[in-house]
Amino acid sequence: MLDVQRWAEIRRMRLVENLSIHEIVRRTGHDRNTVRRAIRRDGPPVYRRPKRSSKLDPHRPRIHELLREDPAIPSLVIRERITEEEGYAGGKTILDDYVRDLRPVFRPPRTHQRTVYRRGEICQFDLWEPSAPIPVGHGQLRRGWVVVAVMGWSRAGAGALVFSKRLEDIAGGISHCLRSLGGLPKTLVFDREGALHAGEGRPTEAFAAYLGQLGVGWHFCDPRDPQAKGVVERLQLYLETSFEPGRGYANHLDFQGQLERWFSERANARTHRSTRAVPAERLAAEREAMRPLPERMPQTARRWVTRVPAQPFVRLDTNDYSLDPRFAGRRVEVRAGQRELLAVALDTGELVCRHRRRFARHLTIAAPEHEGALRELRVGRRGEVEVELRPLERYDALIAP
């Protein structure tokens, strides 16, 4: 059989140099018929091995039937079925390769189009969970999530650490991200998170109230459709590969500080692979198409009304925070945000307490002024009088001989 180079040389002699077949035979030493076949062949010679039968051939109809019934059936299950039913004696690799090539016929894979965003059009949000718990002080660690946001056009991102999936915490994280991005996009895109989604693409009443105060639109992605918000999904992957490795945190405040520095110095300062531009520079241009933030962002603190008990403490997240004991028996409104917890008397509007929010668990946080007020009230109720404390030397002098 002629190789490709000899075949090309024979055709050159005939078609370019216009040599006779006799001359070509003399120069190449090939048989006349071989030379004639090479000249008549339009394509290069290809070696084709005759197809051999496979141990898989008798079982192909059954494999087709199983895939038709369930296109997602694993190849391991197919092997077990055809072995039990038809005595398949072939190997695993040949079956896996055949099923891999055949499965798209019965379950065509989903295809995706490239999406182009306009300036200020959308901002995608998601919850990303760090791989390790976050230190929260008092020798404790706690599971946390990061509310991640990214603008569609500029690819500028922001993040906020939260410790629960309650609406108040997620909404607080969204507000933090919007303040970092410096404006309001037209539409916010979310997963169907339970605290946000009421069903059928509708927000919960509380979340709808939050969005209404911001004056933005919303879109909830379909279930099991992470590709619909691929921009924020890729940013989360970048967090896992660039932000997390080799880092340590003193506490949750240190985590948030490092996260914000990473966004400003790394994620938003790099040249983005898709846009071939720096996100921070594009964000400056995108802000021109975004609405300004409202003067007062929506309240995201957790609020409830309670009556100050005889033991003047209020409980939040397994922690007890002290209240002013002088307000015992009166109703107060408690407001718990990400940074502080405060209580206000409903009848007079007086401040009943203000504490820094703690995320460690099972703590008792008592303000010194509350302890002092409680001591004064206890002395007054008992009618106790202050007694002079005399040194023991005076009593020694009295009983001395």
DSSP secondary structure string, 290-334?
SBPPPSSPPP-SEEEEEE--SS-EEEETTEEEE--GGGTTSEEEE
DSSP secondary structure string, 46-110?
---PPP---TTGGGHHHHHHHHHH-TT--HHHHHHHHHHHH---S-HHHHHHHHHHHHHHHSPPP
pLDDT (tens place) for every residue of the chain, 401 residues total: 688 999 999 999 989 999 999 999 999 999 999 999 999 988 888 878 888 888 899 999 999 999 999 999 999 999 999 999 999 998 999 999 999 999 999 998 877 777 889 999 999 999 999 999 999 999 999 999 999 999 999 999 999 999 999 999 999 999 999 999 999 999 999 999 999 999 999 999 999 999 999 999 999 999 888 888 899 999 999 999 999 999 999 999 999 999 999 999 999 999 999 999 999 999 999 999 999 999 999 999 999 999 999 999 999 999 999 999 999 999 999 999 999 999 999 999 999 999 999 999 999 999 999 999 988 887 766 555 566 777 878 777 777 66
| CA proximity to 122, closest of 175, 203, 178 | 178
Cα–Cα dist 375/389, whole Å: 19
DSSP letter, residue 27: H
Cα–Cα dist 103/69, whole Å: 12
Cα–Cα dist 288/279, whole Å: 15
CB atoms closer than 10 angstroms to residue 218: 19
- Distances 97 to 55, 56, 101, 355 between C-alpha atoms, Å: 14, 11, 6, 64
